[in-house]
Amino acid sequence: MFRLALAFCLGLVWTFSANAQSTEKFLYTRQSCDPFEKIIGVVTGKYGEQPLFIGEGLQFGMQGDTYRGGAMFLVNQTTGSWSLLHLYGDGTACVTAVGTEFEPYSGPVKKGEKM
């Protein structure tokens, strides 16, 4: 009986230590995707947001695969609402994130950096 209890406890310790050592984390999300014209119409029409910047890059899928495309950050400087869109070559756009209280960053400036 003692050996069985000891084996069970050692098994629990091994299981918990193996899980604690795992540094790989996954975040599963759901994105709203539609043709770019439809998404941009909602963001600019309903929320009054306008593009602030656009860039090219990669988005990472749930299984680690990558998707090349663009990103567009839109903001309504009056209300502070903002949206981040990912754009794909087939004309699809996905809303990656939205938020409020947008404001320019006014944190510390690194030594030698000009504002």
What does pLDDT average to in each consecutive run of 10 residues of the chain (115 residues)? 41 46 59 91 95 88 81 94 93 92 83 65
Cβ-Cβ contacts under 8 Å for 114 (sequence gap 6 or more): none
pLDDT value, residue 37 = 95
How is the chain split into domains, by residue range?
32-99
Query: In which residue are the tokens 């209300």 written?
Result: 79
- Residue 29: the pLDDT is 61
Sheet holding 32-35, edge to edge: 32-35, 92-99, 82-87, 66-75, 50-60
Residue 6 is predicted with a pLDDT of 36
pLDDT for residue 11: 47
Three-state DSSP class for residue 55: strand
**The pLDDT value given to residue 1:** 43
